[in-house]
A = this chain, B = another copy of it.
Amino acid sequence: MRHPQAVSRDGASRDDLARAASDILARLRARSPRVHCITNAVAQNFTANVLLAAGCVPSMTLSGEEIGAFVSGAGAVLVNLGTFDRERREAAEIAVETATQRKVPWVLDPVFVDRSVSRAAFARELIGRAPKVVRLNHAEFSALSGGASSRETIAAYARDHKTVMALSGETDLVSDGERTAAVANGHPLMARVTAMGCAGSALVAACLAVEADAWKATAAALILFGVAGEIAAERARGPGSFAMEILDAVYGLEPATLIARARVS
């Protein structure tokens, strides 16, 4: 996500995705989709605020009795495995089952699967249950796939698992197995604020709620969050002010700015 250098290899598709990001943001603001998040306690507040800044209506309950109702009424769901515990594991099971029945798109963010064997096993099981998107970093991809991450390996993984893979890094890669986009927006300060990645995955879920093409929705989310991060960095003096500024930047993001600043290939 850092030090953007990627140059569009295909001007048309770059412009398509930039314009798609702008359209999708407009739809978020117009439709205010509900996004239900099963996420870690560290990330809940910031994630909710990013979704609200983008025009969405977040909900976060983990209660087994209630989660079915919340997921049924949601436009999309995020399942994030950070600070994982029994309650969240049960909540994830119910949420995925309900989402599958009700055809609600869901995103898996397998946080820290490289640090815990049981977490990796659970993530693999969830990937078998058809998330629309899996968002993760290089170490997490290696822990899940058993191999190194590259444009080719993530495309293969996406094909094999019939999902969209979104790999975070200096440049984010988004692949559905056929199409692969490289999103170079973002700023190093994004790695210095907790829950920034989790909130980005929640934005991916939000975009799925208003865009049926999961690959396009994912690229759009990463572009708009990355551009907001760049704007925030111009105004920030450190990670404290950056966390505040990125919320303001998401909230105030102009379509023209988004299109002009998108760095996607």
Interface positions of A (Cβ within 8 A of B): 40-46, 48-49, 52-53, 58-63, 65-66, 69-70, 73, 82-87, 112, 115-119, 192-195, 236-241, 243-252
Residues of B within 8 A of A118 (CB): 65-66
Pairs across A and B, CB under 8 Å, 22 listed? A42-B45, A42-B60, A44-B83, A45-B194, A52-B194, A52-B239, A53-B239, A59-B112, A60-B83, A61-B82, A63-B85, A63-B86, A69-B115, A69-B116, A236-B248, A237-B252, A238-B247, A238-B252, A239-B247, A240-B246, A243-B247, A244-B244
Q: Which residues of B contact A116 (CB under 8 A)?
A: 61, 65-66, 69-70
Oligomer: number of copies: 3
Among A58, A87, A194, A236, chain B packs the most CB atoms within 10 A around the CB of A194
Interface of A, secondary structure class, is: helix
Most B C-beta atoms less than 10 A away, residue of A42, A70, A84: A42
Q: Using Cβ atoms and an 8 Å threshold, which residues of chain B touch A48?
A: 42, 194-195
Q: How far is the CA of A250 from the CA of B115 in the complex (A)?
A: 27
